[in-house]
């Protein structure tokens, strides 16, 4: 136990915690934007899997990481168009439609994988980029500034999302449409268009989360996400629809996860307990966020299709 609390180990835990938090953060931020507009998307886990497979497949065939990322983003966007048609054009019930998207993503990515790849082959992973100067700082340098590009992107997107939702005209439209679409409509703001764009942003970011996951692992397998997308949806609720809180949740989740992995690797947790310990991140994160979350009400029009009357 004593050798666990050395600086080297702690730095490694924080570093891998930040890395593990990345897909949760990307998916959670996207889901925040969507929910702020009043649209719940329970299907992001499925979107992540489809995007992860697309990125995997493109990198496998072309060995070009950039093309892989673009493929994952494109598939996310296409799924956004799809989800928009279901929820905005056909005004379907959002909860159940999202589950449908999840099952579709899970099954279709599996099918494509079996048909097009079959046996898992490793691909190139995202390179680690060391930020000049900052990465040389003692302790924090290694923990925070030696990551792959998508991790940096995810954390930069936190202030960007805060700014976007809080300070831009379009962000104001999104918030208004999620709270009282009729008010927005009466002022000439198109509820449908605003929600559509929010859904596109959310799904594209879910796609990016899938890409981050698969390019971090360097390999694809069926059900790669193992419910990660659902945790991300939960983070949005428990994070009271605030990007900074969603980030806190994602980080906590990543850090607990990294700690458990580290403890397991050092045989501090006996093998017989490892299954139980694997639950720790989810349990701890949810407990912490439930305690911390102020009783904030979500967007008033969340899950309610807009019908003019």
Partner 1 sequence: MGTSNTTKVLLEMRGITKRFPGVIANEDVDFDVRNGEVHTLLGENGAGKSTLMKIVFGLYQADEGEVLLRGEPIDIRSPSEAIAARIGMVHQHFMLVPPLTVAENVALGLSSSRRPFTDLAKVSTRISEISDAHGLAVDPSTEVWRLSVGERQRVEIIKALYRDAELLVLDEPTAVLTPQEVDDLFVILRRMVDDGRGLIFISHKLHEVMALSDRITVLRDGRVAGSTTPAEATRESLARMMVGREVRLTPHKGKVTVGDARLSIRNLTVIGDRGTPAVKNLSLDVLGGEILGIAGVSGNGQREFAEAVAGLRHTEPGGTITMDGADITTSSTRVRRNLGLAYVPEERMRDGVVAEFSVSENLVLVNHGSKEFTKRGLLATGAIRRRSTEMVKQFAVKTPTIDTPIASLSGGNIQKVVMARELSASPGVLLACQPTRGVDIGSAEYIHSRLIEQRERGAATLVVSEDLDEILGLADRIAVMYEGEIVAIIDSADAKREEIGLLMAGVLET
Q: Which is nearer to partner 1, 183 or 287 (CB)?
A: 183
Output the smallest distance, CB 101 to partner 1, in A.
Answer: 29
In angstroms, what is the minimal distance from the CB of 235 to partner 1?
A: 21
Go through 27-47 and write b for each residue having 16 or more CB atoms within 10 A of its CB, e for each that does not.
Answer: bbbbbbbbbbbbbbbbbbbbb
Separation of first and last alpha carbons in the chain = 65
Q: Which is nearer to partner 1, 53 or 164 (CB)?
A: 164
Binding site for partner 1 (CB under 8 A): 167-170, 172-173, 175-176, 179-180, 182-189, 300, 308
Token couple for 67:
């093309």
Distance CA 46, CA 42 (A): 9
**For tokens 């379009």, what's the residue?**
170
The smaller minimum CB distance to partner 1, of residues 135 and 180, is found at: 180
Q: Residue 91 CB, nearest distance to partner 1 (Å)?
A: 18
Distance, CA of 14 to chain centre: 19
Q: Output 21 or 189, the one with its CB closest to partner 1.
A: 189
Which residues does 82 contact at the CB level (< 8 Å), separation at least 6?
101
Closer of 240 and 257 to partner 1 (Cβ):
240
Minimum separation from the CB atom of position 238 to partner 1 (A): 19
Instruction: For 133, list phi and psi in degrees, rounded to 5.
Output: 65, -60
**Shortest distance, position 171 Cβ to partner 1, whole Å:** 8
């Amino acid at each position: 136990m004593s050798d666990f609390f050395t600086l080297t180990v702690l730095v490694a835990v924080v570093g891998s915690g930040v890395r593990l938090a990345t897909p949760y953060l990307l998916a959670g931020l996207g889901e925040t934007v969507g929910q702020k507009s009043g649209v719940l998307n329970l299907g992001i886990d499925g979107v992540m899997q489809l995007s992860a497979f697309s990125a995997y497949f493109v990198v496998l065939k072309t060995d070009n990481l950039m093309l892989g990322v673009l493929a994952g983003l494109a598939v996310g966007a296409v799924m956004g168009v799809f989800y928009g048609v279901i929820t905005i054009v056909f005004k379907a019930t959002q909860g159940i439609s999202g589950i449908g998207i999840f099952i579709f993503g899970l099954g279709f990515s599996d099918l494509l994988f079996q048909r097009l790849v079959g046996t898992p082959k490793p691909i190139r992973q995202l390179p680690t980029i060391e930020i000049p100067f900052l990465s040389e700082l003692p302790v924090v340098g290694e923990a925070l500034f030696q990551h792959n590009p998508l991790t940096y992107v995810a954390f930069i997107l936190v202030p960007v999302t805060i700014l976007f939702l809080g300070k831009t005209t379009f962000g104001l439209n999104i918030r208004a449409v999620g709270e009282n679409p009729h008010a927005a409509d009466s002022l000439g703001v198109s509820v449908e268009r605003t929600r559509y764009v929010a859904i596109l942003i959310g799904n594209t970011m879910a796609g990016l989360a899938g890409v981050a996951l698969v390019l971090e692992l360097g390999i694809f397998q069926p059900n790669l996400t193992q419910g990660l997308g659902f945790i991300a949806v939960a983070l949005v609720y428990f994070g009271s629809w605030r990007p900074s809180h969603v980030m806190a949740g994602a980080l906590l989740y990543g850090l607990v996860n990294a700690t458990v992995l580290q403890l397991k690797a050092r045989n501090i947790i006996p093998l017989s307990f490892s299954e139980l310990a694997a639950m720790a991140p989810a349990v701890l994160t949810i407990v912490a966020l439930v305690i911390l979350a102020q009783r904030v009400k979500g967007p008033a029009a969340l899950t309610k299709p807009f019908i003019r009357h």
